[in-house]
Amino acid sequence: MLRTLSLGMILIFLGIAVIVIGSLIGILVSIQRSISVPQNVTNVSEEKVEGGACIVIFFIPICFGTSASITLVSMVITAIALVIVALLIYIAIRWWLRPIVRESIFRERGESEAYSS
């Protein structure tokens, strides 16, 4: 029990360390890019920044983008695909846990599995 707890704490601290290091790398790259200005750029306002992303909160996907090539149809298709993936994961986890839940119900009732079928 204690060994599992210490392993869990080590993994938590490693996860936090990875998050902090990733954030610092992002900040340092951003600072480095802002300091070094390309020599061949004459007008900075001509540059375009494009991007898009989807965030899934429970089963509700929220998709957004700033690109002219990202159309509403592609974002709807992405949202539907994310919902399908989330449902498949939910069904797989529920199917995997079904024997465990059934066994715990029999233990609560005091029944044996031999008489349940």
Encode pLDDT of 62-96 as tens digits.
777 676 666 777 777 888 888 898 899 889 888 88
Q: What are phi and psi of 90, to 5 degrees?
A: -60, -45
pLDDT of residue 105 exceeding 80, the answer is no
HEC string of 38-78 equals: CCCCCCHHHCCCCCEEEEEECCEEEEEECCCCCCHHHHHHH
Cβ count within 10 A of residue 46: 7
Closest CA to 50 of 32, 36, 64: 64
In one-letter notation, the amino acid at residue 23 is S
pLDDT of residue 43 exceeding 80, the answer is no
Which range among 20-24, 86-90, 96-100 shows the weakest confidence by mean pLDDT? 96-100
Task: Give the mean pLDDT of the chain.
Answer: 75
Would you state the pLDDT for residue 111? 62
Averaged pLDDT for residues 6-21: 88
The more confidently predicted of residues 112 and 13 is: 13
Averaged pLDDT for residues 93-112: 74
Cα–Cα distances in Å, from 107 out to 45, 56, 93, 97, 110?
69, 37, 22, 16, 5
